Amino acid sequence: MSVVFSVQNLQKKYAGVAALQGLQFELHAGECVAMIGPNGAGKSTCFGCLAGQQQPDAGQAMWRGQSLLSVPPHLRKNRGVARTFQVAQVFEALTVIENLQLVLQIAQGVSAFQALAECQVDSAWDWIDKMGLRAWGAHALQSSAAHLSYGQKKRLELCMALAGLPDASQGLLLLDEPAAGLSSSERADMMQGIQSLCQNGTTVLYTEHNMDAVFGVADRVLVLMEGRLVAEGLPQEVAANPLVRERYLGTSFHLSKAGLHA
C-alpha cells in the first residue's frame, strides 16, 4: 500500500506545556488506523492541528504529496480531508435530507436565490442510500434532525463529512471518537460502517476510548502519551506492549474482551 498521509515532527505548546512533542506517523491508502491514549495524551490537539482548528508550532502534514497545514480549514474538504467531532455536529433545525443538501450545495456555491429544498436532491438521496439511512424511515428523514437519537446524529454527521468530499473513496476522514456515547450495538454498527468505507478506499484515522471499537476494528493502532508516540503496530502487538498495558490498557486487559484473539 502507498503512503498517502505523513505527519512529521508535529509540535504544539499551550502556555509552555507541550501537548505534542515531535509527533510522527504515516497512513496508507485505505487504512483504518486508531489513535489511543489516556486523557491529555494529545489526541484532540493532534486532530485539531490536522483538521485546521488549531495551528501547530512546528511540523508538517503531507496529504497525497501536498502540505495540508498551509490550507485554510474550510478548504481542506476540497483537498479530500474531512473530520467529525466528539459531540456530533449537525444542523438540528434542518431535516436529515436538508443537512445533506446543504453540504452538497456548498461545494457548488450557495445562492440566496436558491431554495434549499430544490438543491442536490438526487445526490442527497444517493448518500442516504449509500449510508443505509433510508432504514430510519421517511418520517425520520424528513423531520428536524433535533428529533434524531444521538446514534443517528453521529451517523448523519459521518454521512455529511463524506458527502462534502470530492471523492470519498480517495479521501481522508479524521474521526474524533466516532463511537462515543453510543450503545454497544450502535458502536458495532458504526465501526462496521467505517471498516466498509476503508475497504472502498477511504483512509481513516480515528481516536477512541471504547476498546471494542479499536481492537478487532483497526488495521493498526497508534498510542500517544504526553504528546509522544510511544507505540504503534498491529492491534495484537499494541495490546501486548508492556508500557501500553501498564499505563493505559491495564495489566488485566485481554484481547477477547475487545473482540480479538491472541
Question: What is the pLDDT tens value at each position of the chain, 262 positions in all?
Answer: 799 999 999 999 999 899 999 999 999 999 999 999 999 999 999 999 999 999 999 999 999 999 999 899 889 999 999 999 999 999 999 999 999 999 998 877 666 567 787 788 899 999 999 999 999 999 999 899 999 999 999 999 999 999 999 999 999 999 999 999 999 999 999 999 999 999 999 999 999 999 999 998 999 999 999 999 999 999 999 999 999 999 999 988 887 656 554 4
Give the DSSP letter string of 163-188: HTSS-GGG-EEEEESTTTT--HHHHH
User: How far, rounded to the nearest angstrom, does the alpha carbon of residue 217 sit from its chain's CA centroid?
Assistant: 14
Q: Is 23 helix (H, G, I), strand (E, B) or coil?
A: strand
Task: Mark out the alpha helices in the chain (DSSP H runs).
Answer: 43-51, 96-108, 121-130, 138-141, 150-163, 184-199, 235-239, 242-244
Q: Which domains does the chain have, with CATH numbers?
A: 3-86+169-258 (3.40.50.300)
User: How far, rounded to the nearest angstrom, does the alpha carbon of residue 41 sit from its chain's CA centroid?
Assistant: 17
pTM of the complete model: 0.93
And the C-alpha cell for 204? 481513516
**Alpha-carbon separation of residue 4 from 16, 179, 255 (angstroms):** 32, 25, 30
Cβ contact 199:219 at 8 Å: no
